[in-house]
Amino acid sequence: MSLPPAATPRKRVGILISGGGSNMAALIAAARDPAFPAEIALVVSNRVTAGGLAKAEAAGVATSVIDHRGFSDRESFDRAVDAALNDAHVDVLCMAGFMRIVSNWFAETWRDRALNIHPALLPAYTGLNTHARAIADGVRVTGATVHFVRPELDVGPIIIQAAVPVLATDTPGTLAARVLVEEHRIYPQALAWVASGRAHVVRRADGTEHVVIDAPPSPAPTLISPALQR
């Protein structure tokens, strides 16, 4: 009797948070689908007060609090986070509202295995208060970006982006809410592409990097409409 092919083991994902964890919740929800190529193995917060911890625990996801204030320098904190991720056999790391700048050591250790979401269309509006700055500048379009992490803040090969219109009536709060809806859609898509091995970082001759997404295997579990899939 021929046995069915063993299912490819799902990639184990660690999520780093500092706050409410709405993107973490979107990733946890996406991973509930057995066809999703990743499972959420661990949520790590640098703040014991992070509201996302309760959401993760309610979803049955293991959590860990590693308070950055207990470490003398950035790299020693990062090494403690790295140890917790390795203990949980994490393959891919998603930073989701994680308000820490990682050390060069951490970025290189997790090179092309660490993703981050930023509430702007990078390379525009790196840093904080992206929505207030976009409104102040009168831009007509902003959005969100998921990228691979590199040592420099909010820089790295872009995996996926979503564009969101800026309305004349927008406040930073109304704009943030509209962008978050798109964040919760594109982050699971980005993780699915990375976890399924379809996202590749290509370095050009001039040293710049970009991400190529392989064509979907058919039948492909699509998370976004095929028209949007490359």
Q: In the complex, which residues of this chain contact ligand GRF (CB under 6 A)? A: 17, 19-24, 96-97, 117-119, 180, 183
Round to whole Å and give the CA distance between 78 and 228: 36
Of 100 and 200, CB closest to ligand GRF:
100
Nearer to ligand GRF, 8 or 96 (CB): 96
In angstroms, how far apart are the furthest CA atoms of the chain?
A: 67
Tokens, residue 126: 């790196």
Closest residue to ligand GRF, Cβ-based?
A: 97
At closest approach, how far in Å is the CB of 226 from ligand GRF? Answer: 26
CB of 51 to ligand GRF, least distance (A): 8
71: amino acid identity, one letter: F
Per annotation, catalytic residue among 118, 131, 147, 184: 118
- As measured in angstroms, the least distance from the Cβ of 176 to ligand GRF is 6
Catalytic residue status for 147: no
Q: CA-CA-CA-CA torsion for 212, 217, 222, 228, nearest 10 degrees? A: 40
Distances in Å between the Cα of 174 and the Cα atoms of 83, 122, 132 are 38, 20, 11
Cβ atoms of 187 and 96 within 8 Å: the answer is yes
18 or 196, CB closer to ligand GRF?
18
Between 145 and 196, whose beta carbon lies closer to ligand GRF?
Answer: 145
Catalogue the active-site residues.
118
